Every structure is written in C-alpha cells, then in structure tokens.
Amino acid sequence: METRSLGKWFEVTIPESWNEVTIEEVFRSKWKVPKKLTHSFRTEKKALINGNPANWNANLSSGTKLQLLLFEEVPFEIEPSYLDVPVLYEDDHLIVFNKPPFISTHPNEPDETGTLANAAAYYLLSKGEIRNIRHIHRLDRDTSGAIIFSKHSLAGSLMDMMLEKREIKRTYLALVQGQLHQKKGIINEPIGRDRHHPVRRRVSATGQDAITHYQVLKSYSSKKFTAIKCWLDTGRTHQIRVHLSHIGHPLVGDILYGGLPLFDRQALHAAKLEFIHPLTLEKIVCHAPFLDNPPIFSGISLEEI
C-alpha cells in the first residue's frame, strides 16, 4: 500500500484491489470501521479525493489519492505524567512500548497517574502531539513487555478488529516451576472468576474459552525450572498464569497462583509482537528487551522467541 502523511492528512494511493470500490465500502467492508466513526468521517468531511470533497458512493479508481483527516489535535482523556518507557516502534498511527513491571497499563480510577497510559500521553505531549492515545490490549501490572497504543480513532478501531480476529500475534516468555515432559503443548481450558477471591481466576467449566500454546526453550535441571514461550488464541485475564498453574507448573514468583516467591513478580514477559500494519500493510515485528535487573530470564536470547 502506497501511503504518506501530509500535515493533518493521511494519503492513500488507491490500489488495484480497491478499483471500482466506494469509500463507503472501504470503511464498511475492507476496514470494518464502526458505523458511528464512519458517520463522523462522512458528515465532518474528513475524506477527500485528490484534494476535493469526496463522494462516498462513487467508484474509486486505482492511482487516485484518498486523503483522510487523521492527525488533528484531540484533547487527552488521560492526564499526562512522566515515566521513562522504551519505545519499540512508532509511526503516525501506532506506538509499541516496552512496559516495565510494577505499573498498570491504564488508570483504574479517574485521578490515577503513574500508569503506562499516563506515560504514553506525556510522551506524545513532549513531542507536541495532542492525541487521544489509547491502549489496544493490556498486560498485568507485574508483567513486562511489548504493548500497542493507537494515536487516533481509525487506527484504534482497525487494531481492535485485528485483535478480535487474532491477527496480532503476541509471544510471551515465562519461567515455570518443574520440568515439562512435553516439548510442545496446548492448554484448552475455560477460565472464569474465582468466587472466593476478588482478583484470582481459575479453570471453570462455566468460564470463557481459553487456549494457550507453549513450547519449551530451556530446562534448568539444577533449579527445577523451565523456560517456555507461550502464545494465545484468546486473551483472558491472567490466562497464562491460570493455565500453567492448572497443569502443575505455576510461574516462578507468581504467589497468587502457587508460584515460589523467588522473584518480586511473576516471571512473565511479552517478548514479541507481530502484525500487519492496518493502514500501510507493512509487516511489523517488535522484540522487547528484558528490563529486570538483576535479570530473571538468564541464558535466553530474544532471537529464540
């Protein structure tokens, strides 16, 4: 896809695959943008063809230029606050941060600060970008690693759809207790709330479907630990932690699910993110370097993930 940014506008050169397709069909069928957001683009005249007001029901021709108003200032819905967080990838539409442990992804109370979302807003503000930045997915407070934020509503909508369709691959690194006898495995067990605990989840026949894949990377026989990588077909709260505890191999440091308190957090790191950029169609791959000092995942290279 040939694209470029022009001030507040994002320009797409209409590809052959969009020939004789209308803008309405691009938003509804190609991108599957929610009706409310599509309506705002249409009524507020945020779409142009070759610099002129667009006819949303006219067929597009390959090679023509579609301009979309994406980069206007939008007041922050969250208070910016400083926190030094590494950036793994950034363009005009998305940012991937390497989240440190011990901070929440977003505020749980209106006046809460010190979260990754507050830091993301501050980061944009420091660059002079006033955008309604928003997280696409979450990581537990004590889990570190790669996490995606959108800079504008269209990118957020497209990434939400990709997440729902499982088109964003997230690979985690975990250190679990014991030696796994199978080098690869799939844990397919539904997860629900634990009615005896306000935070904890558990495997439950009445819970939501949850599927976790894992592969052994390294065994530490002397320490009785195993380093594994995991990837998910679903995104349930605490999914990896619950599933691995359920099969008798809780995460080291995960006291909530039976792990030994050898670290000050559960040994879980979102090490890799892969997706096709929804607006440029580029293949994006992000590796998140380890942040713990001293390190938790000794002897593991990101190239193995």
Beta strands in 154-209 (DSSP E): 169-177, 184-188, 191-193, 201-203
Report the distance separating Cα 51 and Cα 215, nearest Å: 52
Q: Which two tokens stand for residue 134?
A: 């928003």
Rg (CA), the chain: 22
What's the burial of 294, exposed, middle or buried (CB within 10 Å: 0-12/13-18/19+)?
exposed
- Decide: residue 250, CB within 10 A, 0-12 exposed, 13-18 middle, 19+ buried: buried
Annotated active-site residue 142? The verdict is no
Closest CA to 167 of 136, 193, 197, 139: 136
* CA distances from residue 71 to 46, 120, 136, 153, 170 in whole angstroms, order as listed: 11, 17, 18, 10, 28
CA distance 162 to 33: 12
Nearest residue to 228 via CA among 238, 219, 215:
215
Backbone dihedral angles phi then psi of residue 99, each to the nearest 5 degrees: -65, 125
Dihedral sign computed on CA atoms, order 199, 204, 207, 209: positive
Measured CA to CA in angstroms, residue 73 lies from 152, 190, 256 at distances of 10, 42, 42
Choice among 111, 140, 254, 292 that is catalytic = 140
Cβ within 8 Å of residue 118, ≥6 positions away: 78, 79, 80, 81, 83, 107, 112
Q: Which residues are catalytic?
A: 140
